[in-house]
Amino acid sequence: MPAPIGVSADILMAQAQTPTASTADLARKQRVAEAAQKFEASFLSAMLQPMFAGLSTEAPFGGGDAEAMFKSFMTDAIAKQTAKHGGLGVGDVVQREMLKLQGLS
């Protein structure tokens, strides 16, 4: 019977702690996807601002000064939710180009 091959515990620990190239690529792809989604949300927010600019905030159905003050938060929330649930495709194009520039597919 052959003798068992001894493997140093340090080597095994080093291999376990070192991320593989595919793990690093997946992490980079995830960060790119998040950045593209945030970009699309910012873009959508900028496009929605003028849509709500002309709306009256007077009584009886408006919220007055408080509504005017929080209108930008509402457009940001609408934009983030839209981007999170597929958006308009701007984020997909941005993500594809960012991945291409970084040499990832």
Domain membership flag for residue 54: yes
Confidence at residue 68, expressed as pLDDT on a 0 to 100 scale: 80
Number of folded domains in the chain? Answer: 1
Q: Model confidence over 30-86: pLDDT tens digits?
A: 999 999 999 999 999 999 999 888 777 777 777 778 888 888 899 999 999 999 999
Domain membership flag for residue 28: no
Domain membership flag for residue 63: yes
Domain membership flag for residue 15: no
DSSP states of 18-56: SPPHHHHHHHHHHHHHHHHHHHHHHHHHHHHHHHHHT--
Domain membership flag for residue 11: no
Which pTM does this prediction carry? 0.71
Domain membership flag for residue 97: yes
Domain membership flag for residue 46: yes
Domain membership flag for residue 59: yes
User: Does the pLDDT of residue 13 top 60, yes or no?
Assistant: no
Which structural domain, as residue segments, surrounds residue 74?
Answer: 40-105
Dihedral over alpha carbons 26, 31, 32, 33 (to 10 degrees):
90
